Structure 1
């Protein structure tokens, strides 16, 4: 067992079982078990790995308004989304509790508090007791993602205690949003987890920058997606494959230390489980000369206000 100031983390760089929630859940459970066998206390998965990223948007002219093809594809996608309230994450929570391992998971959430028909790119933190502690809905879907994902809110901008560390996470390009990062830094974040659909171009620069800015451990965990990962029975597959490259997401998972140096350099083009042990004393050392939310902040001059209220159309008072 690790000392409280050490944390063993695992990065599951995998391809989804694309748009098959049940089979995708089973694959994720198997990787959680593998991570636990290697002594990990936290295992992380990429953006919307359950049930998969909407790769068709860029391949099928997703912006065509009121188009029958886009309606078919969107309906299929929503049906495979994750209803947390209905227990869709129960198998993952159960194995987390059984093996006493925390999980950071990217999923396509279809929450009942927003009708169950609008879907969100969500980062879910499940603690080592198998309890869902936060669901962070991506604040601003990026570019074509806005055609299928709804914009989220600040409710999930939270950090969580694990060993003697504070863990936080953001989805994909919101890792580029300075104020979103600051909201986590202000809560004492020691380990920043960026979850991505994949690709080295997203992770090789920003991961080290976040580590240096926050003087924290910075994790990027990415998915994979290859032409052969599309299921053969998917609607309009022939249309998707007309413009589909061989590789849509090549991974790029990595870990940088609080000094910005690589602990695990970016890994591409392979499914794998990457494991490393983090030492909190490295955070202490690097914050000697720069602590972004501590001695190097000036809240008397610049200060961030964060609205963490879960947004809804109506508030009912009976």
Structure 2
């Protein structure tokens, strides 16, 4: 094990590599680290340092946690109770909104440049700002520095629904790349059988699962998905202490603040890499910030699907089938009928349908 520096604190690099250097082997890293809350530029700087470290270990695909850019607002309630919102809660949301990023936007351009600079496929959890609605989103970049696309969390969990919108079927991509077919589901989306089936139907091979769930039972879900989908599962979670969030009264962990010290762990990580056979290749890590890496033998996918292919020979489409409505669901559609110029101005008639 090697120790590397990050934000003046040691970062554990947990590397469990195989010895097969064939073309069918992909070196993967999941990043377990905390956001610098309410400071998106500093978080981007931290992301680049971590990406550089992972690249130094030869990683070809790097997965960051849920909401790494923009932050996971653990413990806060944004001042909401039924039929009431406090002034402080509204201001908390304004700050959170300001820390989110536009897609596309300058932060996306920087992330693309990072992926190209370090020659890695990058899967990054962000808080996406679309007007005044926020989405928990995963962004995908290739090793040439191109932005491939995004996945928006289709169902925010519990009180996440106060602050995040719902994704739709138009952002459930699986990208064909030279290192395999890559896609993602975020946190408790991974418990949704039909969403998983939509990804399996697209042939996902490197299944990324950014999360905020550090419970032991999360490992059971990750193992099941690897076995069910016949795919490699790469799950990345933040490791956070109370001091990684702003101090009270600016930021309060509702109901437990009085029990916390600055060094109290509020998210213990548990990031892990699992093979299609259900074998844990690296992790889970509950010790601190870490780069957790393993070599993925892509030939294992075929070996395991020989016995069980959930959308192939083990399916019964005449009995059970899934329809995915993969078009954008928008509340307002504008259809431009014609464009004509009057008085030197460009007038575009629009029909609201």
- Which one is further off, 159-168 or 284-293? 159-168
Q: 1:268 to 1:306 in 2, by over 3 A?
A: same
Q: Is the 8 A contact 2:74 2:253 kept in 1?
A: no
What is the deviation of 1:239?
A: 7.2
Where in structure 2 are the equivalents of 1:234-273 lying within 5 Å? 236-237=250-251, 242-243=257-258, 245=260, 246-273=264-291
Q: How many equivalent pairs are there?
A: 312
* Cα RMSD after superposing both structures: 2.0
Q: Whole-Å Cα distance in 2 between the matches of residues 308 and 128 of structure 1?
A: 27
Where in structure 2 are the equivalents of 1:203-214 lying within 5 Å? 203-214=218-229
Q: Which residue of 1 aligns with 2:298?
A: 280
What is the deviation of 1:2?
A: 5.5
Q: Which residue of 2 aligns with 1:49?
A: 68
Q: Which residue of 1 aligns with 2:34?
A: 15
Segments of structure 1 that go 5 or more residues without pairing to the other structure are none
Where in structure 2 are the equivalents of 1:148-227 lying within 5 Å? 148-201=163-216, 203-227=218-242
What is the deviation of 1:308?
A: 1.8
Post-superposition Cα deviations, 1:151-175, rounded to whole Å, max 9, x if no partner, equal 1112221111233411111010000
Q: Whole-Å Cα distance in 2 between the matches of residues 221 and 282 of structure 1?
A: 22
Q: Is the 8 A contact 2:79 2:88 kept in 1?
A: no
Where in structure 2 are the equivalents of 1:70-219 lying within 5 Å? 70-111=89-130, 116-201=131-216, 203-219=218-234
Q: Is the 8 A contact 1:125 1:134 kept in 2?
A: yes
Q: Is the 8 A contact 1:215 1:290 kept in 2?
A: yes
Segments of structure 2 that go 5 or more residues without pairing to the other structure are 1-19, 337-353
Q: Whole-Å Cα distance in 2 between the matches of residues 99 and 139 of structure 1?
A: 31
Larger % of helix: which? 1
Q: Whole-Å Cα distance in 2 between the matches of residues 164 and 242 of structure 1?
A: 45
Q: Whole-Å Cα distance in 2 between the matches of residues 238 and 214 of structure 1?
A: 40
Q: Which residue of 2 aligns with 1:307?
A: 325
Equivalent in 48, 53, 60 of residue 29 of structure 1: 48
Q: Quick check: 1:289 aligned with 2:307?
A: yes
What is the deviation of 1:61?
A: 5.5
TM-score, normalised to structure 2's length? Answer: 0.83
Poorly superposed stretches of 4+, deviation over 4 Å: 238-241
Q: Is the 8 A contact 2:75 2:253 kept in 1?
A: no
**What secondary structure, in the 3-state scheme, does the structure 2 residue paired with 1:204 have?**
helix
Q: Which residue of 2 aligns with 1:38?
A: 57
Q: 1:73 to 1:250 in 2, by over 3 A?
A: same
Task: Look at both structures and tell me which one has the larger radius of gyration over its CA atoms.
Answer: 2
